[in-house]
Chains A and B, each alone.
Chain A
Amino acid sequence: MTYSLLIPILMTIVGAATPILLAALGELVVEKSGVLNLGVEGMMLIGAVTGFAVTATTGSAPLGVIAAMIASAASAGLFGFLTLTLTANQVATGLALTIFGIGLSALAGEGYVGQTVDVFGSVFPASLSEHPTLRVIFGYSPLVYLSLALVAAVGWFLSRTRAGLILRAVGESDLSAHSIGYSVIGVRYMAVLFGGAMAGIAGCFYSLVLTPMWAEQLTAGRGWIALALVVFAGWRPVRLLLGAYLFGAVMTLELHAKAAGFSLVAPEFLAAMPYLATIAVLAAISARKTGMSLAPACLGKPFKPSS
């Protein structure tokens, strides 16, 4: 493989990895609080269409990202109201949120199909961001650097702060946390809203950075990969980062194989690789029962404070 090919390959991997990293990081915090939100895909789509529409209307990509965060967080708030306040089943509600997100984003985005918007400018001077070699470090959208900063921030929050300790405690034993006097529902609402906002950024990474355009089901099931990634990473932020880039590499396999004229395996098979890898990883992890897992003990369990 020639050197000139390596840089674009690395850059596509980072591009593919960043949105699932963002979404998975949000979901990690949600799950650490004991809530399983399977609606990541739906929230990403809502974020993608909102971000695109606002950017197309106002011409400002940062404004689009903020709007996407608010819209996805609002849909997460709806999920929170159903599952936390009304104690609806989290799995069913999450699946419904995904279906809802697919439908709503298709409806809202109808007028924007085929349009294009101005992409994010670079945060670094052109001499760095367009340098043939250094662009592998400096040539990305600001959202990529944001995702890396957020990994560090979430890792620090969960392991080093008192609020993070409380969040983990709520996910570990809701009844104990309640009897000590913490607001289980309150903590979980905050986590769910954060997860929604992160899914929103992840969604508009597709519509504002990668493509950049809007099409129905633009995220193409990547929300599910983000969910699997959380399990793969064993609920550890740093492992999540490594996992995301690994999945990013697998996801871009098809592209690179095509470019390299590799034709031993059907391209459809390569395109299916990330999903097959997801299944393989999940099966391998659940088979290895003995390993130390940081899975929150109360994951997916509804909390009813009256008892």
Chain B
Amino acid sequence: MSDSVQHRIELKGITKAFPGVLANDAVSFKVKPGEIHALLGENGAGKSTLVKMIYGIMQPDAGEIIWDDEPVMVANPKAARKMGVGMVFQHFSLFEAMTVLENIALGMDGSYSQASLEEKIREVLHAYDLKLEPHRIVSTLSVGERQRIEIVRALLLEPRLLIMDEPTSVLTPQEVGQLFETLRKLSKTGCSILYISHKLHEIRDLCEAATILRGGKVVGECDPREETPKSMAEMMIGGNLKQISKAKTREFGADRFVADGLTVPGEGDFGVALDDICFKVRAGEIFGIAGVAGNGQNELLLALSGEQPSSNANAILLDGQPIAAMDAVGRRNLGLCAVPEERNGHGAVVDFSLTDNAILTARERMGMASSGILKGGVATAYTSKVIDDFAVKTTGPGSLAGSLSGGNLQKFIMGREILQDPEVLIVSQPTWGVDAGAAAAIHQALVDLAENGSAIVVISQDLDELLAISDRMAVINEGRMSKTLNVGEASIDEIGLLMGGVHGDPFATAEMTEAVHVH
């Protein structure tokens, strides 16, 4: 690769407006050949819009893109690929019913015979030490494998700039490690990488330079290796990262929400069953449930929220009342609200307006219906309140849930449940894919809700989050729950051991639990 050019790409004053919002406002930055350059910013800061313009999916209203020191017009993705720009999308642009090979062929310009393309794919897989079977149907592949298709597709074009839009938000830690190795190999060949992520510690590990966007404007540049995740987060939100204010001495009431011998059989060959889950949450308390993904968290949420009622009515008690046999609506009417992990399609209907989404769960509690007739005014007013109180970035209560960015939709869903002032709130991954500023706001809202006497259960894989907000916590492993730990007394190492170190060995888990309690 010739590295005679000074900069692989330079943006000068790029501006892009959408109806009602200025997505990019005179954005300028430069990327050197072979540099791994991070693009940082909160949800809605304009990062995705910016890279879409570099890849030719959108055109800027004003400004210049300079490629290898020469001004260019990127008319469409085909032109971008011809220049040497590859892109791996946040939401993969894959065709589920087709094979890996067909998917890659669709991303190539010009025709190849199947055999020669397969040959080239195998060469790239070998060069970068990636595993992928060209003849598999995409719908049978894991998320990590799907991303590899996108990466191979980009690598086959021998890109000189690779854009990665939130590549790690769906990967396991092992897959992230493999991805970073691939990217480092690639950058050594002179290919620049533009890397978008929320995960600031990853950016510190990987990137050599960073441009920080806020509200569509460039607000700073830094070398991530010399920053801390906290300092970068503060540059992104443009202020101090709010510490959660939590009263030191908390008064807890009586046991409000109790799981007592909750057991759920496994489904088919997959899905971890829940085995004799027992825990108590007092009024005013936040109870954290940690664990590595896939150890029964999903089943636990379904069982606690009422989506999957249990035959043993006494397995779950709300203020002493047996509720385990009730469905989700029955429990909701008693004041038990829930937020599932998956926002799109589970927590919210993407093709519905925010108001309609509010009606779906807040109808009874907030008096949005009387004798079967909806009260539109009440629903809209409540929706507007959620939007205001939780600083949801949207054009109004009438906008579609699917038009919100992931973090904003999460804020809306959390706000929708929290403002109903529930007696019990069950949440799974409350800040998944949410930027630091919004996450802090959601954490504070949960703490405030608890201080008003609600019992809250937080299921999360983010240990830092649980340690920051919960009063007591337990670890779920293969559908079994460890004994309850007081957060102030347990160290992160000990909990980490419970989650991973003794994973799969119930006896060891029990011993570890005892050990933690001795402290």
Q: Are both chains from one complex?
A: yes
Residues of A within 8 A of B (CB): 162, 165-166, 168-169, 172-173, 175-182, 294, 297, 307
B225–chain A nearest beta-carbon distance, Å: 32
Q: How many chain B residues touch the partner (CB < 8 A)?
A: 21
Residues of A within 8 A of B96 (CB): 172-173, 297
Contact of B95 among A172, A181, A294, A307 (CB under 8 A): A172
Chain B window 100-135, contacts with chain A (Cβ cutoff 8 Å), 1 for yes, 0 for no: 001001110001000000000000000000000000
Of all chain B residues, the one with the shortest Cβ separation from A292 is B97
Distance A274 CA – B379 CA, assembled complex (angstroms): 50
**Is A176 a contact partner of B94 (Cβ separation < 8 A)?**
yes
Max chain B C-beta neighbours (<10 A), residue from A166, A177, A179, A181:
A181
Max chain A C-beta neighbours (<10 A), residue from B81, B95, B107:
B95
Extra 15 A-B pairs, beta carbons < 8 Å, given A175-B91, A177-B106, A297-B97: A165-B102, A168-B98, A169-B95, A169-B98, A169-B106, A172-B96, A172-B97, A173-B96, A175-B93, A176-B93, A178-B57, A180-B106, A180-B107, A181-B56, A181-B78
Chain B window 381-423, contacts with chain A (Cβ cutoff 8 Å), 1 for yes, 0 for no: 0000000000000000000000100000000000000000000
**Is A173 a contact partner of B106 (Cβ separation < 8 A)?**
no
Residues of A within 8 A of B102 (CB): 165, 169
Distance A1 CA – B57 CA, assembled complex (angstroms): 66
Interface pairs (6), CB distance under 8 Å: A173-B93, A173-B94, A173-B95, A176-B94, A180-B107, A297-B96
Distance A300 CA – B171 CA, assembled complex (angstroms): 33
Residues of B within 8 A of A165 (CB): 102, 105-106
* A181 and B97 contact, Cβ closer than 8 Å, known pairs A162-B111, A165-B105: no
Main DSSP-derived SS at the B contact region? loop
Main DSSP-derived SS at the A contact region? helix
Interface membership of B437, Cβ < 8 A: no
Interface membership of B182, Cβ < 8 A: no
A302–chain B nearest beta-carbon distance, Å: 12
A239–chain B nearest beta-carbon distance, Å: 17
Ordered nearest first, which 6 A-B pairs have the shortest CB separation? A181-B77, A176-B93, A172-B95, A179-B93, A181-B78, A169-B106
Interface membership of B252, Cβ < 8 A: no
A105–chain B nearest beta-carbon distance, Å: 37
A167–chain B nearest beta-carbon distance, Å: 11
Residues of A within 8 A of B279 (CB): none
Max chain B C-beta neighbours (<10 A), residue from A169, A180, A182, A297:
A180
Residues of A within 8 A of B106 (CB): 165-166, 169, 177, 180, 182
Interface membership of B187, Cβ < 8 A: no
Of all chain A residues, the one with the shortest Cβ separation from B56 is A181
Of all chain B residues, the one with the shortest Cβ separation from A166 is B106
Of all chain A residues, the one with the shortest Cβ separation from B402 is A307
Residues of A within 8 A of B105 (CB): 162, 165
A298–chain B nearest beta-carbon distance, Å: 10
Interface membership of B89, Cβ < 8 A: yes
Distance A168 CA – B102 CA, assembled complex (angstroms): 10
**Is A180 a contact partner of B97 (Cβ separation < 8 A)?**
no
